[in-house]
């Protein structure tokens, strides 16, 4: 074992990770450089996967023997912005108080990353017979695309894992299912005219309102259908319109109106169903509202994000492993999306299981309890023991 490696406790490693501002619109390269230097100190080689701009990087490392069949511990390095209500301390300086460690990303999900990294010396000392892989990604909070370049290399110039554990905060419950998320921007293009002469133009705001009403009706259909599995809360595919902007004055037909919307689909949702239903509404609104008096307008929709859901895979290697490590006897379903669906889509058995409470994520004064960190440490130590057996 290298003698120049630096030993850090999970809390010390968490403090280092939190100190980097890795909001999703910010580079994470400084954090990855730090992690790379730490792993290099322990003689652990790493692979880096930068984005096209070169300002964000995913990192992959293997502990133990080379070859397929290992276990991936996956965590993202990006965090949500520090906005809204003020923090009571610097969000990028870990504060430990009252049994809690406060900082942006402390629970979502630098806590899990810190545990995996801090236990690298123990992985090396254990004499692993089955590899443990670490994958630190970026852009999970926006697109979940930051892990994709590494995933695409599995079975090629990276070993193909036999299981993946995505360490999002679940209180160490083992989640084998979560919803997908698709986000869209719809732009309605109309034609300006004086409001006293509506036949001379096309009101983009009115057309957009019709489309939002159509989405509400589609949402009602999803609610009526419900959740056949009985596992999700809320128990349905959901549709949400988050922003709408358009028009220039009260007495002018709006030239343009834009709205952002999303849907979060149950794992059994046909991925083409909501786009088909919305396309039907677009065709009707275009003909009957937007172009009632002439070919004055059009409607465009840009799909911005498409994150696959995680479908149950009963008895999978990842499920059985995580249940043993966490001491649980059943799986749960989660309403939020993660990178897990990306791994599953690549054929890697995957579950979501990590320390902490998701209710603390994305909040001012975000925190993870020291008890949760200790539980997470025991979880990973059990994994080390299994992979060394």
> Phi and psi for 261 in degrees, rounded to 5?
-145, 165
User: What are the C-alpha distances in Å from 242 to residues 54, 171, 210, 269?
Assistant: 31, 29, 16, 22
> Locate tokens 């276990």: which residue?
71
Provide the CB-side half-sphere exposure for 379 (13 A, CA). Answer: 28
Q: What is the CA radius of gyration of the chain?
A: 24
For the chain, give the longest Cα–Cα distance: 82
Looking at the DSSP bridge assignments, the partners of residue 261 are 184, 241
Q: Which of 78, 210, 319, 366 is catalytic?
A: 78
Q: Which of 23, 108, 139, 140 is catalytic?
A: 140
Yes or no: say if 368 and 303 are a contact pair by the CB < 8 Å rule. no
**Using H for helix, E for strand and C for coil, what is the string for 172-224?**
CCEEEEECCEEEEEEEEECECCECCCHHHCECHHHHHHHHHHHHHHHHHHHHH
Instruction: Establish whether 78 is a catalytic residue.
Output: yes
Yes or no: say if 73 and 167 are a contact pair by the CB < 8 Å rule. yes
| CA proximity to 234, closest of 154, 305, 329, 333 | 333
Instruction: Establish whether 140 is a catalytic residue.
Output: yes
Could you tell me how many residues make up the chain? 389
Catalytic residue numbers read 78, 140
């Amino acid at each position: 074992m290298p003698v120049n490696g630096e030993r850090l406790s999970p809390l010390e490693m968490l403090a280092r990770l939190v100190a980097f501002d890795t909001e999703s619109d910010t580079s994470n390269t400084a954090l990855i450089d730090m992690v790379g230097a730490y792993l290099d100190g322990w003689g652990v080689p790493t692979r880096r996967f930068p984005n096209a701009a070169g300002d964000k990087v995913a990192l992959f490392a293997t502990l133990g023997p080379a070859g397929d069949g290992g276990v991936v511990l996956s965590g993202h390095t990006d965090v949500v912005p520090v906005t809204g209500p003020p923090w009571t301390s610097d969000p990028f300086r870990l504060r430990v108080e009252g049994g809690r460690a406060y900082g942006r990303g402390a629970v979502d999900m630098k806590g899990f990353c810190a545990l995996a990294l801090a236990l690298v010396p123990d992985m090396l000392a254990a004499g692993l017979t089955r590899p443990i892989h670490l994958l630190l990604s970026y852009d999970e909070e926006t697109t979940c695309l930051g892990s994709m370049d590494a995933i695409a290399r599995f079975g090629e110039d990276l070993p193909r894992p036999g299981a993946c554990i995505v360490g999002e905060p679940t209180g160490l419950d083992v989640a084998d299912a979560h919803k997908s998320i698709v986000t869209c921007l719809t732009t309605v293009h109309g034609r300006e005219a004086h409001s006293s002469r509506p036949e001379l133009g096309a009101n983009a705001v009115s057309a957009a309102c019709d489309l939002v009403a159509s989405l509400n009706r589609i949402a009602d259909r999803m609610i009526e259908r419900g959740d056949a599995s009985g596992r999700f809360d809320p128990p349905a595919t959901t549709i949400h319109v988050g922003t709408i902007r358009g028009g220039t004055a009260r007495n002018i037909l709006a030239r343009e109106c834009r709205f952002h919307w999303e849907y979060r689909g149950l794992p059994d949702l046909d991925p083409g169903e909501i786009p088909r239903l919305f396309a039907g509404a677009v065709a009707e609104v275009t003909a009957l509202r937007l172009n009632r008096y002439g070919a004055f307008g059009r409607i465009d929709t840009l799909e911005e994000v498409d994150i696959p859901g995680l479908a149950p895979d009963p008895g999978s290697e990842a499920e059985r492993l995580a249940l043993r490590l966490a001491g649980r006897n059943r799986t749960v379903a989660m309403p939020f999306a993660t990178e897990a669906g990306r791994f599953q889509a690549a054929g890697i058995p995957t579950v979501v299981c990590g320390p902490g409470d998701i209710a603390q994520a994305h909040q001012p004064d975000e925190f993870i309890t020291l008890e949760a960190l200790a539980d997470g440490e025991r979880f990973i130590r059990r994994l080390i023991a299994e992979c060394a057996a």
